[in-house]
């Protein structure tokens, strides 16, 4: 029964129910094509949610992901437009490295200086976003300026699935392995649960935080390339406000903002849930303007439910007040 009570199971069931309900209204939604589209559309969010999960698990938050994504995306687009002969692998590697660097800067400030994550990433978010403008001079890089291979890579298929899906699957496996089977992953949970105790048992907190934010940056960097190539355009405002979508998906997936709790399955399902809603609305002919309002309602419902299910709390052994009003509850 515990399997049924788990948050992830409930979330998975509600996703399936949601898909079926939308399918009843518009059978087109259940077609293979549409499902494949849904999967491809959700990949970028899934990848970003995975590394954001690590950050949130340590009681942190990374508000700079969208700006990091935009900066590396713009950098890739400009590089590819300038030197079309560069191999794609090199550009992707470059995106990873640049993202990693930007993330490590966050991590150094948060881990080694002990600054509050929300303030640091708020600051770097502005800086990185501004640098996109400086790099591009405010201009757009359109698909005509980028080489064909650069633009077509994310949506090319391998064994029937797009490269985006394969990359996301790889990321899921990697993060799941890190979270479940490595000291690094387990240490992050320890830090999030009780930072002081984590330090006493010898967990190198600063180093772990540095890497957690570094990973978040690296993933955002890779997604920066994928985003620009997928939508075939790069401009200053790409992914503006996407950091909140990523955090929202984490929250829906049951990752506690207070740190120390969260699973890869939950994170992926949270991202899928948001993607399903976003993809379903146009299909059932709801005005796309409802999307943001509905997302808000979903987030609030999810956190309220999560808070309820997490209310096991400590056991009260001695009654605080010996009043009759307390008696029935302690008897139950």
Site residues (CB under 8 A) for another protein? 61, 63, 109, 113-116, 118-120, 122-127, 129-131, 133-134, 138, 236, 240-241, 244, 247-248, 251, 257-258, 287, 289-297, 299-300, 303-304, 307
* Nearer Cβ to another protein (154/192): 192
Joined together, the tokens standing for residue 312 give 């096991």
* Nearer Cβ to another protein (20/134): 134
**Helix axis angle, 32-57 to 65-82, nearest 10°:** 120
* Nearer Cβ to another protein (80/246): 246
Give the Cα separation of 246 and 122 in Å (integer). Answer: 15
- Closest CB 113 distance from another protein, rounded Å: 5
Joined together, the tokens standing for residue 328 give 């029935």
* Nearer Cβ to another protein (4/113): 113
- Closest CB 244 distance from another protein, rounded Å: 5
Helices (H), the chain: 2-5, 7-25, 32-57, 65-82, 88-107, 117-136, 148-152, 163-181, 183-193, 195-200, 205-231, 242-252, 264-283, 290-309, 327-331
35, 165 contact by CB (below 8 A) = no
* Nearer Cβ to another protein (84/114): 114
- CB neighbour class for 61 (10 Å; exposed up to 12, middle 13-18, buried from 19): buried
* Nearer Cβ to another protein (9/291): 291
Q: What are phi and psi of 240, to 5 degrees?
A: -65, 125
- Closest CB 70 distance from another protein, rounded Å: 12
- Closest CB 215 distance from another protein, rounded Å: 21
* Nearer Cβ to another protein (27/116): 116
* Nearer Cβ to another protein (34/124): 124
- Closest CB 301 distance from another protein, rounded Å: 9
- Closest CB 98 distance from another protein, rounded Å: 17
Joined together, the tokens standing for residue 128 give 């990185």
DSSP string, 109-159: IIIIT---HHHHHHHHHHHHHHHHHHHHTT--EETTTS-HHHHHGGG-EET
Give the Cα separation of 250 and 264 in Å (integer). Answer: 10
- Closest CB 317 distance from another protein, rounded Å: 19
Give the Cα separation of 321 and 317 in Å (integer). Answer: 12
- Closest CB 42 distance from another protein, rounded Å: 18
Which DSSP category does 324 fall into? Answer: G
């Amino acid at each position: 029964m515990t399997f049924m009570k788990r948050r992830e199971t409930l979330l998975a069931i509600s996703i399936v129910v949601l898909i079926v309900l939308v399918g009843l209204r518009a059978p087109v939604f259940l077609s293979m094509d549409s499902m494949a589209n849904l999967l491809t559309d959700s990949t970028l969010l899934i990848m970003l949610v995975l590394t954001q999960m690590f950050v949130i698990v340590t009681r942190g938050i990374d508000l700079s992901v969208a700006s990091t994504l935009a900066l590396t995306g713009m950098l890739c687009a400009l590089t590819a437009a300038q030197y079309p002969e560069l191999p794609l692998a090199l550009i992707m590697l470059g995106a990873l490295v640049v993202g990693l660097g930007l993330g490590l800067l966050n991590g150094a400030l948060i881990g080694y200086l002990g600054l509050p994550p929300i303030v640091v990433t708020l600051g770097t978010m502005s800086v990185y976003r501004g640098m996109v403008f400086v790099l591009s001079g405010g201009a757009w890089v359109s698909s005509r300026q980028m080489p064909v291979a650069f633009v077509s890579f994310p949506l090319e298929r391998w064994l029937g699935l797009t490269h985006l899906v394969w990359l996301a699957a790889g990321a899921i496996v990697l993060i799941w392995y890190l979270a479940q089977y490595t000291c690094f992953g387990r240490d992050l949970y320890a830090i999030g649960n009780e930072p002081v105790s984590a330090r006493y048992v010898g967990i190198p907190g600063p180093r772990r935080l540095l890497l957690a934010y570094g990973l978040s940056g690296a993933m955002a960097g890779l997604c920066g390339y994928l985003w620009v190539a997928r939508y075939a355009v790069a401009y200053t405002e790409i992914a503006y406000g996407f950091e909140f979508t990523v955090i929202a998906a984490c929250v829906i997936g049951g990752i506690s903002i207070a740190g120390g709790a969260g699973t890869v399955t939950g994170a992926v399902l949270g991202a899928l849930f948001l993607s399903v809603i976003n993809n379903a609305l146009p299909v059932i002919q709801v005005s796309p303007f409802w999307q943001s309002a509905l997302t808000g309602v979903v987030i609030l419902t999810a956190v309220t439910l999560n808070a309820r299910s997490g209310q096991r709390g400590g056991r009260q052994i001695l009654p605080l007040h010996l009043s009759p009003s307390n008696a029935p509850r302690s008897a139950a």
